[in-house]
């Protein structure tokens, strides 16, 4: 027997060496399911299964990559790299590149991300003259997404009286027509959205039996990880592919199903045994990750759910410290508590930053944590949120690259046809769209025929359009020979993007430039990485595909020693020595939007279960009595989930005297920074803005900037513009309407961004924008 198998316990070994037939592994949190999957694949290969015929579908690219590396260590690099392993989306995108032509898609189809899709829907709704308040793009998008995930095509939609009535009842009778227009436009643009990658795969396998047979024959052994989070579309793909050989192994944990909002159907795992004959069922119930207290706490919570499979997770690990529960006054305090605890624990136990994770329900909660960590100089990294590739400047560059590859890509074209500004305005673009829709052509085709096509655009503008076409075509020529990196660099420099990002010189502009630089480095790394692989070309197409399906978790650079901040969703599958689950408050976690039905609430509870079970040694649960939400201070109650934990596993550690903060370690020596921040920003800014509106006729036409200055500085007759010109000096004593008397400590920035750091007698040290601050120099 292969020696790696000796590393498995009996429960793990059985499913690992079961080669043929359908099987389901119900794997509790931390029970070693990745290990089983990895070894099972290695075992299959040792038993003579061709590595080309194994398909392993994972939930993240990262999981796939790590598993592949581990398998490579056992069976060797050259064999491991033949495995088909990746997310549903990436594997089937790859197949659609080859087979998409059956459905009329070019092999270089674009993958639209959520932003692209929603923008397209926005234009469609506008073009159809519909009420945008009734047809909100986000809602329309998620509606269409759920149709697609349920395999309801446009045709099926119009055959489904019930659905149409539901939409009509929701005062959206045009949903079907929007859906149709959206699908048509994507098709015309040679684009697929995320859901299409699954839906079109289903279409391919259903309509083309020879294609189905080809892949059934190819993928003789199929493994699916995180099966509890598959949606209907994914479920059908797996069933179709596994139908011939029935060598299907699914792994999952119903207690960790947390993606219902995007169509995941927990019944796929609950009913797996009905879908195939002679299904072998295995259970992994021993947790190797966490202490007894953590496992006990997690179990006691999940017991409150009605819908679940029989399973008892237990551990032989040490008892460990109890789960700690901490209450704060505000979210700011919560952040400071977390930061100081990390700081102390790190010192006391000689731990690394990477031994800590802060998990939250919503991305917006990261800010309070960031502020606190920064003040303590604790390095951290935020995962998720606005991903790198979603940033404006990055999407701008990528849009150029996308257009080079697929000029039909309407969203990319609309984004950059006038960016940087080339005098092609909205009116022109609208006319192009109308012409394109009328003739059933793409905008690019219209542009190419601009001389002959009937369109109401004047000659000057036509010249600009021709220049744009020439520019893109020159890039296309370059793409024939250059690497993705050479091309991307050339595009950034020659398109005027670089100049655009460079021109303002603001801190934001500098950040933009840095991001673009990082993107270019990313392209370079990618090209070099791909060139080492024999079967990859490292060309633009491969890079863009990689980018379209990359998640933030995949962009891990090195193994920096940082505290990890992320949503609980993103944390699934990960583990950390110490875990802080923050913001455990009613309406936040569980979310106010998920408490209407039992099933929604149960999903929130599973999410909490996932959060708790990320911890190996110590879990902290924190909540605040009030929290800033949408810029407002809102009272909150502790989450019901805390109540649901059996008392024996938790310990309340809220100090009696909550406000004892060591002044040396806290930046807000003069009191709580948070309320002041709001009081300072809110009233002053609007006052100034309102005044400006009334002001203009009083003054002779001068530059608006002068108006601002005089206005902003208020009533005193001293030309307060002085403060801008540097006449406010360090050491000056000033008076402020709200903060009173203070001394200027420091002046930084210039122009309208000039800021002064002022130490007020009562209010403490504040940094004020001179443009807004009403200051009188009194000494």
- Known binding-site residues for ATP equal 27-34
* 555 part of the interface to DNA, by CB under 7 A: no
State which residue, 474 or 511, has the beta carbon closest to DNA: 511
Report the distance separating Cα 137 and Cα 121, nearest Å.
Answer: 6
Residue among 75, 236, 413, 424 that touches DNA (CB under 7 A): 424
* 510 part of the interface to DNA, by CB under 7 A: no
Beta carbon of residue 346, minimum distance to DNA (angstroms, whole number): 26
* 363 part of the interface to DNA, by CB under 7 A: yes
Among candidate residues 141, 149, 227, the one with its CA nearest the CA of residue 195: 149
Q: Two tokens at 757?
A: 């750091």
Catalytic residue among 226, 229, 253, 371: 226
Contact 323, 612 (CB under 8 A): yes
State which residue, 113 or 409, has the beta carbon closest to DNA: 113
Tell me if residue 617 is catalytic: no
Beta carbon of residue 424, minimum distance to DNA (angstroms, whole number): 7
Residue with tokens 């929604």: 600
Annotated binding-site residues read: 27-34
Among candidate residues 371, 342, 335, the one with its CA nearest the CA of residue 356: 342
Contact 401, 488 (CB under 8 A): yes
State which residue, 76 or 425, has the beta carbon closest to DNA: 425
State which residue, 233 or 293, has the beta carbon closest to DNA: 233
* 678 part of the interface to DNA, by CB under 7 A: yes
Residue among 34, 114, 150, 160 that touches DNA (CB under 7 A): 114
Tell me if residue 614 is catalytic: yes
Catalytic residue among 12, 33, 602, 616: 33
Report the distance separating Cα 443 and Cα 406, nearest Å.
Answer: 12
Name the β-bridge partners of 578.
356, 618
**Which H, E and C letters describe 123-162, residue by residue?**
HHHHHCCCCCCCCCHHHHHHHHHHHHHCCCCHHHHHCCHH
State which residue, 106 or 384, has the beta carbon closest to DNA: 384
Residues 203, 207, 209, 214, CA torsion sign: negative
Q: Binders of DNA among 455-474, rule CB under 7 A? A: 461
Report the distance separating Cα 695 and Cα 713, nearest Å.
Answer: 13
Beta carbon of residue 309, minimum distance to DNA (angstroms, whole number): 22
DSSP secondary structure letter of residue 51? G
Residue among 381, 569, 738, 741 that touches DNA (CB under 7 A): 569
* 675 part of the interface to DNA, by CB under 7 A: no
Among candidate residues 70, 14, 62, the one with its CA nearest the CA of residue 41: 70
* 594 part of the interface to DNA, by CB under 7 A: yes
Residues 31, 35, 38, 44, CA torsion sign: negative
Catalytic residue among 99, 116, 195, 225: 225
Beta carbon of residue 238, minimum distance to DNA (angstroms, whole number): 15
State which residue, 286 or 495, has the beta carbon closest to DNA: 495
* 700 part of the interface to DNA, by CB under 7 A: no
Tell me if residue 217 is catalytic: no
Residue among 160, 353, 418, 577 that touches DNA (CB under 7 A): 418
Contact 730, 745 (CB under 8 A): yes
Tell me if residue 226 is catalytic: yes
φ/ψ of residue 659, rounded to 5? -100, 20
Q: How many residues bind DNA (CB under 7 A)?
A: 59
Residue among 47, 171, 207, 262 that touches DNA (CB under 7 A): 262
Beta carbon of residue 259, minimum distance to DNA (angstroms, whole number): 7
775-777: strand order across its sheet: 764-769, 755-760, 740-748, 733-736, 775-777
* 358 part of the interface to DNA, by CB under 7 A: no
Q: Binders of DNA among 82-111, rule CB under 7 A? A: 87-90
Name the β-bridge partners of 619.
579
DSSP secondary structure letter of residue 730? T
State which residue, 487 or 565, has the beta carbon closest to DNA: 565
Among candidate residues 320, 198, 311, 212, the one with its CA nearest the CA of residue 262: 198
* 261 part of the interface to DNA, by CB under 7 A: yes
- Measured in whole angstroms, how far is the alpha carbon of residue 227 from the centre of its chain? 21
State which residue, 367 or 759, has the beta carbon closest to DNA: 367
Q: For Cα atoms 662, 664, 666, give the angle at the middle one, nearest 5 degrees.
A: 70
* 552 part of the interface to DNA, by CB under 7 A: yes
The residues near 214 (Cβ < 8 Å, ≥ 6 apart) are none
Residue among 97, 136, 346, 687 that touches DNA (CB under 7 A): 136
State which residue, 87 or 108, has the beta carbon closest to DNA: 87
Beta carbon of residue 557, minimum distance to DNA (angstroms, whole number): 17
Tell me if residue 33 is catalytic: yes
Residue among 425, 438, 683, 726 that touches DNA (CB under 7 A): 425
3-state secondary structure of 40: helix
φ/ψ of residue 459, rounded to 5? -65, -35
Beta carbon of residue 174, minimum distance to DNA (angstroms, whole number): 17
Report the distance separating Cα 151 and Cα 482, nearest Å.
Answer: 41
Q: Two tokens at 4?
A: 């790696």
Tell me if residue 256 is catalytic: yes
The residues near 101 (Cβ < 8 Å, ≥ 6 apart) are 107
Residue among 428, 613, 622, 754 that touches DNA (CB under 7 A): 428
Applying CB under 7 A, which part among 237-245, 315-323, 546-554, 655-663 lies near DNA?
Answer: 546-554
Contact 359, 581 (CB under 8 A): yes
* 679 part of the interface to DNA, by CB under 7 A: no
Per-residue x/- track, 602-641, DNA (CB under 7 A):
---------------------------xxx----------
Strand 632-635 to 650-652 pairing: unpaired
Q: Binders of DNA among 157-196, rule CB under 7 A? A: 194-195
Among candidate residues 195, 166, 167, 163, the one with its CA nearest the CA of residue 182: 195
Binding site residues, DNA, CB under 7 A: 60, 87-90, 113-114, 119, 122, 132-133, 136, 138, 194-195, 258, 261-262, 361-364, 367, 384, 387, 392, 418, 421-428, 461, 549, 551-553, 566-567, 569-570, 591-594, 629-631, 677-678, 681, 689-690, 692-693, 696
Active site residues: 33-34, 225-226, 256, 614
């Amino acid at each position: 027997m292969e020696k790696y198998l000796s590393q498995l316990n009996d429960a793990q070994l059985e499913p690992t060496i079961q080669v043929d037939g359908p099987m389901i592994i119900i794997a509790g949190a931390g029970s070693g399911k990745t290990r089983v999957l990895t070894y099972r694949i290695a075992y299959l290969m040792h038993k003579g299964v061709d590595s080309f015929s194994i398909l392993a579908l994972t939930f993240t690219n990262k999981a796939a990559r790590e598993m592949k590396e581990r398998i490579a260590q056992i069976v060797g690099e050259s064999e491991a790299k033949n495995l088909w392993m990746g997310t549903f989306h990436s594997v089937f995108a790859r197949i659609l590149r080859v087979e998409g032509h059956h459905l009329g898609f070019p092999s270089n189809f674009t993958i639209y991300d959520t932003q692209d899709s929603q923008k397209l829907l926005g234009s469609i709704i506008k073009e159809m003259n519909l009420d945008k308040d009734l047809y909100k793009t986000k809602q329309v998008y998620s509606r269409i997404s759920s149709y697609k995930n349920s395999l309801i095509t446009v045709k099926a939609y119009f055959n489904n009286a019930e659905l149409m009535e539901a939409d009509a009842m929701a005062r959206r009778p045009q949903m079907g027509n929007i859906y149709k227009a959206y699908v048509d436009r994507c098709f015309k643009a040679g684009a697929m959205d995320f859901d299409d990658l699954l839906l079109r795969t289903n279409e391919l396998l259903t309509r083309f039996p020879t294609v189905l047979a080809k892949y059934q024959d190819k993928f003789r052994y199929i493994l699916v990880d995180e099966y509890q989070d598959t949606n209907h579309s994914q479920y059908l793909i797996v069933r179709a592919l596994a139908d011939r050989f029935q060598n299907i192994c699914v792994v999952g944990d119903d207690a960790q199903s947390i993606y219902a909002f995007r169509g995941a159907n927990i019944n796929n795992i609950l009913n797996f045994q009905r879908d195939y004959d002679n299904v072998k069922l295995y259970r992994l119930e021993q947790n190797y990750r966490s202490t007894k207290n953590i496992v006990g706490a997690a179990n006691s919570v999940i017991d409150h759910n009605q819908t679940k499979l029989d399973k008892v997770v237990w551990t032989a690990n040490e008892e460990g410290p109890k789960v700690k529960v901490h209450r704060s006054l505000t979210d700011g305090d919560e952040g400071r508590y977390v930061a100081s605890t990390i700081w102390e624990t790190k010192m006391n136990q000689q731990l690394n930053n990477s031994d800590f994770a802060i998990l939250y329900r919503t991305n917006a909660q990261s800010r309070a944590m960031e502020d606190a960590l920064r003040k303590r100089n604790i390095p951290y990294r935020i995962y998720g949120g606005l991903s790198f590739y979603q940033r404006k400047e990055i999407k701008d560059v990528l849009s150029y690259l996308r257009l080079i590859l697929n000029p039909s890509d309407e969203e990319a074209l609309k984004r950059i046809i006038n960016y940087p500004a080339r005098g092609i305005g909205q009116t022109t673009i609208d006319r192009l769209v109308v012409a394109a829709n009328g003739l059933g052509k793409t905008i690019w085709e219209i542009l190419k025929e601009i001389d002959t096509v009937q369109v109401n655009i004047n000659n000057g503008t036509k010249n600009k359009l021709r220049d744009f076409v020439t520019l893109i075509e020159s890039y296309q020529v370059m793409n024939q020979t250059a690497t993705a990196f050479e091309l991307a660099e050339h595009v950034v420099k020659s398109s005027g993007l670089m100049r655009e990002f460079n021109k303002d010189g603001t801190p934001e502009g500098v950040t933009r430039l840095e991001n673009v630089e990082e993107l270019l480095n990313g392209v370079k790394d990618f090209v070099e990485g791909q060139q080492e692989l024999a079967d990859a070309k490292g060309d633009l197409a491969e890079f863009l595909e990689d980018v379209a399906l990359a998640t933030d978790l995949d962009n891990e650079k090195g193994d920096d020693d940082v505290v990890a901040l992320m949503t609980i969703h993103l944390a699934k599958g990960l583990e950390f020595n110490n875990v802080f689950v923050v913001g455990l408050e009613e309406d936040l976690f569980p979310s106010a939007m998920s408490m209407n039905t039992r099933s929604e609430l149960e999903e929130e509870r599973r999410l909490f279960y996932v959060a708790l079970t990320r911890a190996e040694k110590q879990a902290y649960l924190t909540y605040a009595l009030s929290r800033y939400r949408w810029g407002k201070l809102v009272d909150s109650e502790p989450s019901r989930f805390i109540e649901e934990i059996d008392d024996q596993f938790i310990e309340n550690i809220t100090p009696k005297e909550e406000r004892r903060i060591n002044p040396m370690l806290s930046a807000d020596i003069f009191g709580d920074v948070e309320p002041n921040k709001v009081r300072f920003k809110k009233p002053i800014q609007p006052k100034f803005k309102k005044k400006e509106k009334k002001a203009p006729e009083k003054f002779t036409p001068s530059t608006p900037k002068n108006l601002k200055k005089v206005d902003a500085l208020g009533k005193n007759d001293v030309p307060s513009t002085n403060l801008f010109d540097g006449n406010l000096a360090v050491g000056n004593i000033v008076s402020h309407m709200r903060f009173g008397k203070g001394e200027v400590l420091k002046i930084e920035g210039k122009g309208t961004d000039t800021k002064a750091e002022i130490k007020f007698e009562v209010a403490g040290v504040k940094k004020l924008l001179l443009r807004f601050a009403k200051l009188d120099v009194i000494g």
